[in-house]
């Protein structure tokens, strides 16, 4: 079985890929998400998605055999609350991932009640619309400690050799007041340049840089709260090789990127 890479992907704004987009704001991001399957060495046996929209004490994993959808966005057209993404869950993967984290000293457990939030079902509905690959969602720890999430990624790395694709789903820029504001472009580009350099470094240098992301140029402007950046830490922590920027664009006047790690 070929080792799977890991990815940090942008999940867009709410159900943006399933609404009219006359300005083409989301066109390039949607095209990137659609290309994800062909960027893999072989089809994954399952997908573990770390979402910026689920925080728990310790780590949790969706443990249901058929998780529901959580429509955790507000004020969108009615049809976007009728979207379907019927990917099966994987109680076995949820148990395996939880055990890997517990063996590394973390609190972790499956949650049989939790459904997929939009940080999971929106991008994966674009990438795997047939919804046949089993999916497990992973939460963030409420501490929002970057070093903790890098370490959790390292503990989950064995899953890559078991055919599991680890995906961090967030946004490399997530300042809600900054989207669409021309004044956001320069600081978002500064942070994007720093983030790219950090991601493309060797694993040790990358981990040290990402631990101190808030000190980066444009860091706190790009992420007033870091929950949408932390999925990157898990994806990066699970990888030994250097990262690579695989998507970048100015979206709503802000720099948004995606990264692959080997």
Q: Do 232 and 209 contact (CB within 8 A), yes or no?
A: no
Number of H helices, E strands in the chain: 8, 8
116: tokens are 């997929």
* Mean pLDDT along residues 152-174: 98
**Is 90 exceeded by the pLDDT of residue 171?**
yes
148: tokens are 């903790």
Query: pLDDT tens-digit profile of 49-63?
Result: 999 999 999 999 999
Q: How far are the Cα atoms of 6, 56, 88, 195 from residue 143, in angstroms, in the given order? A: 23, 9, 30, 22
At residue 221, the pLDDT reads 98
* Mean pLDDT along residues 16-31: 97
* Mean pLDDT along residues 240-257: 96
- Phi and psi of 240, rounded to 5°? -100, -30
Q: Do 237 and 211 contact (CB within 8 A), yes or no?
A: no
Query: pLDDT tens-digit profile of 85-125?
Result: 999 999 999 999 999 999 999 999 999 999 999 999 999 99
* Mean pLDDT along residues 165-174: 98
pLDDT band at 1 (very low <50, low <70, confident <90, very high): confident
Contacts of 124 (CB under 8 A, 6+ apart): 47, 49, 85, 87, 131, 135
| Interstrand relation of 135-141 and 46-56 (parallel, antiparallel or unpaired) | parallel
């Amino acid at each position: 079985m070929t080792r799977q890479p890991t990815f940090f992907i942008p999940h867009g704004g709410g159900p943006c890929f399933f609404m009219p987009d006359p300005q083409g704001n989301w066109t390039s991001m949607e095209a990137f998400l659609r290309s994800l399957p062909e960027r893999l060495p072989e089809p994954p046996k399952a997908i573990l998605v770390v979402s910026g929209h689920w925080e728990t004490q310790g780590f949790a994993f969706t443990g249901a055999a058929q998780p529901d959808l959580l429509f955790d966005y507000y004020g969108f057209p009615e049809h976007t609350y009728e979207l379907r993404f019927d990917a099966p869950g994987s109680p076995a993967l949820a148990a395996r991932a939880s055990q890997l984290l517990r063996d590394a000293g973390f609190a972790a457990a499956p949650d049989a009640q939790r459904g997929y939030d939009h940080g999971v079902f929106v991008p994966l509905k674009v990438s795997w619309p047939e919804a046949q690959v089993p999916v497990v969602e992973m939460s963030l720890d409420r501490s929002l400690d970057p070093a903790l999430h890098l370490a959790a990624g390292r503990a989950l790395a064995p899953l890559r050799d078991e055919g599991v694709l680890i995906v961090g789903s967030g946004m490399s820029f997530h300042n809600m007041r900054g989207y669409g504001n021309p004044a956001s472009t320069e600081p978002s580009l500064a942070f994007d340049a720093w983030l790219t350099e950090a991601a493309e470094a060797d694993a040790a240098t990358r981990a040290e840089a990402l631990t101190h992301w808030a000190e980066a140029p444009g860091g706190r402007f790009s992420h007033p709260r870091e929950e949408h950046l932390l999925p990157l830490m898990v994806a990066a922590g699970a990888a030994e090789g250097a990262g690579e920027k695989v998507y970048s664009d100015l979206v709503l006047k802000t720099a948004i990127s995606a990264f692959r790690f080997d």
